[in-house]
Amino acid sequence: MEPLKKSPDLDVRRMELRGTIRLASEVIGQYWPMRTFVHHNPLHSLEYLPFDETVQRGRQYLGGAGYLSGEQYRDYLRSGRIQLHHLDEALTPLALRQSITLGPCRISHHEVLRACLTHGLSAPIDEPLDALLDQGPGEEQVETIAEHLSLWTAPTLQDRLTATLQKDRAVLGRYLTLSGWCDQTLGTQIGAQINAELIKWCEAFLDEGHATWPMPGREAGFYAAWKALAAREWSPCGIADSRRKIAALPDHPEDAVLGSLEALGIPESLRLDYLSLQLAALPGWAGFIKWRAETTGYAWQEAYEAGLVKFLAVRLWYVRELVQQTCRDRLGIDGHYQSVSGYMQQRPYEYFLRKERVAGRLPPLYAEQADRLVEAGGTEQAWSQLADRYQAEVGPLHDRAARRSMARRLVALTQALEIVPTALLETAPADLRQLVDWMETFPESLHGPIWLRSFEASYQDQLLGMVVRAAAKPERRAYEAGPPVRPHSQSVYCLDVRSEPFRRHLESTGANETYGFAGFFAVFIKYRAWGKEHETEQFPVIMRAKNEVREIPRSYLDHFVSKHQSRAKLVHAGHTLLHDLKENVVTPYVMVESLGWFYSFPLIVKTVLPVWYRRVTGWLRRLFVPPIATSVTVDKLPPSETEEMIAAEQRALIWKALRDRFGLHGSRVEQEFVEALRRRALDQDAPVEPFLSEAARAVDLSDEQLSGFIEDLRRAYRINPRAASRQKERITRAGFTLEEQVVTVETALRMMGLTGNFARLVVFCAHGSTSDNNPFESALDCGACGGNQGNPNARVLAAMANKPPVRERLVKRGIEIPSDTHFLAGQIDTTTDEVTLFDLEDVPPTHRKDIARLVADFREAARLTSQERCARFPDGNRLLPAEQAAAHVRERSADWSQVRPEWGLSGNTAFIIGRRALTKGLNLGGRVFLHSYDYREDPTDRLLEVLLTGPQLVAQWINMEHYFSTVDNEVYGAGSKIYHNVVGRLGIMSGPWSDLRLGLAWQTVMNGTAPYHEPMRLLTVVEAPRARLDKLIARHELLQHFYQNEWVHLVALEPADGKLYRYLPTKDWRPVERAHSDGPASRAERS
Amino acid sequence: MEAWMTPWLLLAVPFAGALLSTFAWANPRELKTGLLLTTAASFLTVIGTALAIGRLPSGMALLCLLPVAAFAALLGQPLHRDNRQAWLMTVLLLGIGLATVSASNSSRSLWLSLLLIFLLSLLARSRHGSVPSPTWGLATYGAGAVAALVNAFAPAPLSAWAGLLVSLILIPLFPLQAGHVACLTRLPGSLPAFLMLVLPGAGVTLLLTVLPSIQEPARDAIGGWALVSMVYGSIRALAQPRPLPLLAHASLAFFSIFWWYVAVSGILSSQAALFLSAVGLTTGGLYLGWYAVRARHGDLDLRAIGGLVQSMPRFAGLFSLLALAALGFPPFGVFSGFMGMVLHPDWKLPGSFAVVALAWLAASWYFLDLMQRLLFGKSRTDLRYEDVRETESAALALLLVLLAVLGVMPSKWFDAGATAAPVPPSPESSAWNR
């Protein structure tokens, strides 16, 4: 490739290109690493477009379906999940006021459209030209009607050719790449070849410690590393002279992209679409690169830089070379947009027949002739003659097949409308043609939106009916009305749909109040668990945190810490040793022979007795490394302590350096000498203290050695003012100031509507999950906590709320927490339904009875929840006795072959923001996100604003992830778990070689071949005045996109009249009229 | 009963059955039933003849297989008016095939000549619209018919060479495969499935008489030629996007394995005959399997159909078993025939076996690929699917049973047709009996 000449506008062009690529990448979603799986809308970047339009874009670029198949919707219709009157309502805007007389009946356009939906009449059936199967029942009728339609003919080859040319020339470059054109015209596999190459390079470059032998040269970035290594490959993808060509590529990836686009001749107007197509060819890897490039401070990205420009520079090089080579060798033209377009225009017959041949649509004898023409390099005239012969000999067969196909559809229509098919013979052919035209102008591709609206309406009708029954006008708050009735406990759960059954069952066990709240409890923290080297980000991925929290051993366990640490280190070393032995080139041969047998025991036991295995290994682990009680660091350190902490760390480093460099240790090194060294290292300009020189001489260090050592301390050991300042900044990020704590607790309590009548025990209950051999484990954890377990947030909030100074300040802000109220942190395991309570050491002795009662209630609620869940599992699907159900969920959690350890999040449909009174006692089937909110506590709408822009977004992402994974699991989902392999510690592939799989696994959203998750868009129900909602929608573009582009349905429960109102895309509100609850809304009922 | 009457009797029964069945020409169901009964009667005639003459006629196993194969080929055909002619021709070919196999050495060539002329006429009628009849196929079978006559009337060694040529056309080797490919890809209905057994069967019976006259240098040349043919067949099979040419070239590769073995070892053992019959049956079975799809959807390219495992599960099960049988899975006949050949005590594996192994590797690729493309992947939503009907599945199951029987039965059942080796067996050798 010729390097681009440096010109003044080159920088501008590069900048423009970067902007174009950014826009082009809208069509692919970000891909978060699997360890912090984040549910998100795979078409999130296109939410500024209406839902239906975005779905079409997804189909054009990614090839993904945006709706379930007609057959699956028909199953819902048959089972009653879709009501016919909702289908009629959804069809009304499309129906014309026309009708046709069919025998004795009058058939309206609306009826034909409905029959198309309910009986699948629009799906075109390809009639074989020469079927050799004997005629089944009814076939004679079809033949008779086909004869009645004898004037009809199928489109001729010339018609098809013209239509194909028109279409293909229009889509070239926009929806069809040049490599795709070669594949479909010449039968090449260029797209697959390039994908395989890119997968190879991405897998190696983006690896995050999984590979035993990492790719060399990654420091130089993706493009440069590829260039260095690919130039050593022998003819990759069969590209001739590849070494020279790669070596001649420009250094800047932007220049390489521009060069390739110019070589391919992609017009400026098509570049955006063309680049989108290139990125959409591997949406997984490209999505991960997009995420890495847009994430600040990601260590792997900082070490090995990758970006979409670099990705495209590599990809487009393969494209241009392979397209050029193929077009020259096969067609004798340049692999250039204009040449390809010109070829289609100048040699239409050759192009059309080649394409038909490759698609397998030519009958065998004509396919053979086409092959001969290809081999002989036939002229356009020869191709044209072949086309004429084909039309003359096969055309009549096509006509016959087309008539049969139409007749079949008309017969099916009469059956759907319950009319005798002979009526067709009494109807004029023109009218029959009109009927077929109606069916043809309503193809399957238009059915999706109608079905979806009907499906949603049917469900929403039932859910809103349930809600409206409970939605009496808000009564006065209990604690305002009179002497408060104090509940036994109050507990706050994540708004997650999985909390709903547990809350319902806990409330049924006694006077336990429950609240719903975003699972991070408004505590934005980075958290480092005791003994861990890395921090986790415990907040929604769309937000940032400035506070850090650490888990530390409780102070009374100081003597125990070193023992715990040394044993933990031993275990870690053992693991590392085993890993290294397994990954080494030579040792596995010995390992298999010598230690392989020992592995069979755990393998068998964990397969046969998973729960027992987990218990025994847990017991052994605790025996060797006993668990240690911990607390979390909530308060900030005072400045003096910070200084002292840094100084202590620096002194320890100097001790180590003296030992490493000069072998000095023990009594030979005095404290004063170390301190003098530290001061000197930190202050370069200060005069050398005489004491320092003397002390150095005392330990046999010369002046040169001393100055060299001090320089080393500054550079190698980072004991310098800059590093100290950074360290100080890091330490001061740890913990919260008192004011921050007050604000955090107040915000949380007000948002959840818990501002009075506090119980003696208030539990902030986070959630996490336990499963084995499950790369999607973090998808089961708390999405609001960045795909992590939420217990750190709960512990921090409880610790803050228990502090007397915080409570004192809260009183001034109008929240009076009784002195006997104790806040407690807990976590529910959503796979076993068991609740773990934290920091019980801090509970006052006066609350022991309360705790005992709460634990008993938790246990009962867990048993009932497990029982309810067991009825949903496909392999159980029956109501087990409570004890058996509890044992069953524990077994699923421990079973390493279990593909559905939990199956709780699937099925989500709605988000209710309002008082618990709206939903208390309703069986919502674990399908509804519940966030407590009392609009009376929010006069400024600040809290509602947060709820709509934060938790609602999280719910919508979860909902859309499930939606798209269900409607097209191959494209938007991750496919079957059976074939999954973890790659690079960042994601999963299907088999050994694939794109990174997006979305959720087949088993998560499907039950056999039918959807388990019922894919519909989120319905948000807010109990708040409409005027307030209007104000917030006007303020936030995000909300406008959600509601006006129909990504989310919004319904307001107007407190003034207790009625429901639906927000329309036209920004108007329409009363919800016909809400009733006589149908099955919950999963339990439908199963 | 005299032995010379056997071929005439075995010819007469199918011809008479066919003649009687034509009275039901207007009713395909009755016609098919009549022809099926005819094949059953032929089978009984074979058994009865053997009992009547008091000894097993030469190629008894093959004689029994032919009516069963014809029965399966007819049974697997869906009822359709357009298939009637093919059914009738199948039964007539059964008669000629039985006569050829059971004929004495002196008259066999004449029967073969008749068989090839019959095929010539069928191929000549196979022109479609502007697409002419398969010229090379016609030429090959024409040459075969002439060579058969030469074999009958010319003196040695010319007759032996002519006989060898006929065998090479009936059990094709590159470049004499044009007739074989044309038969499989051009002839309608049940004919190709049946021809896959009858032609190699007729070829092997002729080869029995010819092989002793072929000297070692000529056999070496055939061995080398067979290797080339094997590679050619495998490569062509790998490159086919349509099932029928794929099957034709795959069978060419497998027949080449047979030729290679016969040429290199100089033995036409019972195991080799078993192998050949099993290859013919599996090819016929796969053809019938594909025909079930073709009858429903037309002659499609493999790129235009797939995912049948969900829409036609019964078909998928049977077809995958046949594909596994074709690529040599136990317990089917291809496996046991081949193992019997290579483990024959009178013979040591030569270095050229590596090419055979490669051909087998290629077979495992294209047969599994065929299976994968047809049965798995995304199925088209614009097709109406119907699983194989009872008669179709019964035919495929019958072939599978036959293949399994061939796989487990004692190979000596094929001995009656096996020839003595032209080279003296080694002193240590002993007959291989399972």
How confident is the model over B16-72, as pLDDT tens digits?
999 999 999 999 999 999 999 999 999 999 999 888 877 666 678 889 999 999 999
**Would the pLDDT of A715 be above 90?**
no
CB atoms within 10 A of CB A236: 17
Contact B293, B326 (CB under 8 A): no
Tokens of A40: 């998100």
Instruction: Calculate helix-pair angle for A348-358, A178-186, nearest 10 degrees.
Output: 80
CB–CB of B78 and A132 under 8 A?
yes
User: What average pLDDT does chain B have?
Assistant: 88
CB–CB of B298 and A369 under 8 A?
no
Q: Which pLDDT band holds residue B129 (cuts at 50, 70, 90)? A: low
More confident residue, A218 or B241: A218
Q: What is the pLDDT of residue A1087?
A: 35
Q: What is the pLDDT of residue A245?
A: 95
Query: Which element (helix H / strand E) includes A158?
Result: helix A157-171
pLDDT tens readout for residues B69-118: 999 999 998 888 888 999 999 999 999 999 999 888 788 899 999 999 99
DSSP A239-295: -TTHHHHHHTS-SSHHHHHHHHHHHHT--GGGHHHHHHHHHHTSHHHHHHHHHHHHS
Residue A991 touches chain B, beta carbons under 8 Å: no
**Would the pLDDT of A829 be above 90?**
yes
Strands A536-538 and A547-553: unpaired
Q: What is the pLDDT of residue A615?
A: 93
Q: Which pLDDT band holds residue B428 (cuts at 50, 70, 90)? A: very low
CB–CB of A364 and B299 under 8 A?
yes
Q: What is the pLDDT of residue A308?
A: 97
Radius of gyration of chain A from its Cα atoms, rounded to whole angstroms: 34
CB atoms within 10 A of CB A711: 12
Residue A1010 touches chain B, beta carbons under 8 Å: no
Q: What is the pLDDT of residue A758?
A: 95
Using alpha carbons, select from A284, A303, A289 the residue that is nearest to residue A253: A289
Residues of chain B positioned with their CB less than 8 A from the CB of A364: 185, 242, 244, 299, 301
Instruction: Calculate helix-pair angle for B60-75, B28-53, nearest 10 degrees.
Output: 170
**Spatial distance between the Cα atoms of B405 and A496, rounded to a whole number of angstroms:** 62
Residue A391 touches chain B, beta carbons under 8 Å: no
No. of H helices and E strands in chain A?
45, 21
Query: Can you tell me which residue has the tokens 């219709």?
Result: A77
- Among the partner-chain residues B82, B83, B241, the one whose CB lies closest to the CB of A360 is B241
Angle value at C-alpha B420, between B416 and B425, nearest 5 degrees: 135
Residues of chain B positioned with their CB less than 8 A from the CB of A132: 78, 80, 82-83, 189, 294-295
DSSP A647-670: HHHHHHHHHHHHHHHH---GGGS-
The 3-state DSSP class for residue A940 equals coil
Using alpha carbons, select from A808, A797, A791, A837 the residue that is nearest to residue A547: A797
More confident residue, A683 or A186: A186
- Among the partner-chain residues B131, B296, B302, the one whose CB lies closest to the CB of A131 is B296
CB–CB of B80 and A133 under 8 A?
yes
Q: Which residues pair with A548 in a beta bridge?
A: A526, A734
Task: State mean pLDDT over B386-399.
Answer: 94
pLDDT tens readout for residues A969-1004: 999 999 999 999 999 999 999 998 899 999 999 999
Task: State mean pLDDT over A525-545.
Answer: 87
Cα-to-chain-centroid distance, residue A738: 37
Question: How close, in Å, is residue A92 to chain B by CA atoms?
Answer: 27
Q: A residues 723-782 near B, CB within 8 Å?
A: none
Q: What is the pLDDT of residue A356?
A: 93
DSSP B353-376: HHHHHHHHHHHHHHHHHHHHHHHS
**Spatial distance between the Cα atoms of B275 and A152, rounded to a whole number of angstroms:** 54
Residues of chain B positioned with their CB less than 8 A from the CB of A366: 131
Q: How big is the A-B interface in CB pairs under 8 Å?
A: 74
**Spatial distance between the Cα atoms of B59 and A369, rounded to a whole number of angstroms:** 42
**Spatial distance between the Cα atoms of B205 and A13, rounded to a whole number of angstroms:** 78
- Within 8 A by CB and 6+ apart from A344, the residues are A165, A168, A169, A172, A351
Residues of chain B positioned with their CB less than 8 A from the CB of A392: 129-130
Question: How close, in Å, is residue A434 to chain B by CA atoms?
Answer: 22
Q: Which residues pair with A788 in a beta bridge?
A: A782
Strands A822-829 and A761-768: parallel
A3-12, A227-236, B214-223: least confident range: A3-12
Query: Counting Cβ atoms within 10 Å, is residue A357 exposed (0-12), middle (13-18) or buried (19+)?
Result: buried
pLDDT tens readout for residues B249-271: 999 999 999 999 999 988 888 88
Amino acid at A642: T
Tokens of A342: 């010109």
Q: What is the pLDDT of residue B56?
A: 62
- Among the partner-chain residues B295, B304, B382, the one whose CB lies closest to the CB of A124 is B382
**Spatial distance between the Cα atoms of B193 and B395, rounded to a whole number of angstroms:** 11
CB–CB of B299 and A363 under 8 A?
yes
Give whole-number Cα distances, A283 to A199, A215, A800, A973, B105, in Å: 11, 22, 43, 12, 70
**Spatial distance between the Cα atoms of A362 and A663, rounded to a whole number of angstroms:** 84
Give whole-number Cα distances, A81 to A449, A459, A461, A821, A990, in Å: 16, 7, 11, 46, 33
**Which of A127, A133, A375 to mutate: most B Cβ within 10 Å?**
A133
Question: How close, in Å, is residue B20 to chain A by CA atoms?
Answer: 23
**Which of A127, A132, A368, A375 to mutate: most B Cβ within 10 Å?**
A132
Closest chain A residue by Cα to residue B378:
A970
**Would the pLDDT of A142 be above 90?**
no
Most confident range (mean pLDDT) of A177-191, A676-690, B210-224 is A177-191
**Spatial distance between the Cα atoms of B92 and B66, rounded to a whole number of angstroms:** 12
CB–CB of B80 and A69 under 8 A?
no
CB–CB of B383 and A131 under 8 A?
no
DSSP E strands, B167-253: none
Sign of the CA dihedral running A239, A243, A245, A250:
positive
Q: What is the pLDDT of residue B222?
A: 94
Residues of chain A positioned with their CB less than 8 A from the CB of B78: 132-134
- Within 8 A by CB and 6+ apart from A497, the residues are A904, A905, A907, A908, A926, A927, A928, A929
pLDDT tens readout for residues B307-354: 999 899 999 999 999 999 999 998 999 999 999 998 888 778 888 899
Question: How close, in Å, is residue B138 to chain A by CA atoms?
Answer: 17
Whether residue B331 is preceded by a cis peptide bond, meaning omega within 30 degrees of 0, is yes
CB atoms within 10 A of CB A752: 26
Residues of chain B positioned with their CB less than 8 A from the CB of A367: 242, 301
Residue A247 touches chain B, beta carbons under 8 Å: no
Residues of B with CB under 8 A from a CB of A: 28, 78-80, 82-83, 128-131, 185, 189, 241-242, 244, 294-305, 380-384, 386
pLDDT tens readout for residues B22-32: 999 999 999 99
- Among the partner-chain residues B130, B298, B301, the one whose CB lies closest to the CB of A130 is B298
Sign of the CA dihedral running A184, A186, A191, A196:
positive
Using alpha carbons, select from A541, A499, A495, A545 the residue that is nearest to residue A518: A495
CB–CB of A131 and B83 under 8 A?
no
Tokens of A578: 């085993």
CB–CB of A360 and B297 under 8 A?
no
ipTM of the complex: 0.77
Most confident range (mean pLDDT) of A100-104, A595-599, A652-656, A881-885 is A881-885
**Spatial distance between the Cα atoms of B374 and B244, rounded to a whole number of angstroms:** 13
**Spatial distance between the Cα atoms of A644 and A246, rounded to a whole number of angstroms:** 56
- Among the partner-chain residues B80, B128, B300, the one whose CB lies closest to the CB of A134 is B80
Percent of chain B with pLDDT over 90: 64
Q: What is the pLDDT of residue B434?
A: 29
Q: What is the pLDDT of residue A874?
A: 83
The DSSP letter of residue B82 is: G
Residue A125 touches chain B, beta carbons under 8 Å: yes
CB–CB of A361 and B381 under 8 A?
no
Question: How close, in Å, is residue B176 to chain A by CA atoms?
Answer: 20
Cα-to-chain-centroid distance, residue B107: 22
DSSP B24-67: GTT-HHHHHHHHHHHHHHHHHHHHHHHHHHTSPPTTHHHHHHHH
**Would the pLDDT of A172 be above 70?**
yes
Residues of chain B positioned with their CB less than 8 A from the CB of A129: 298
Cα-to-chain-centroid distance, residue A540: 13
**Would the pLDDT of A504 be above 60?**
yes
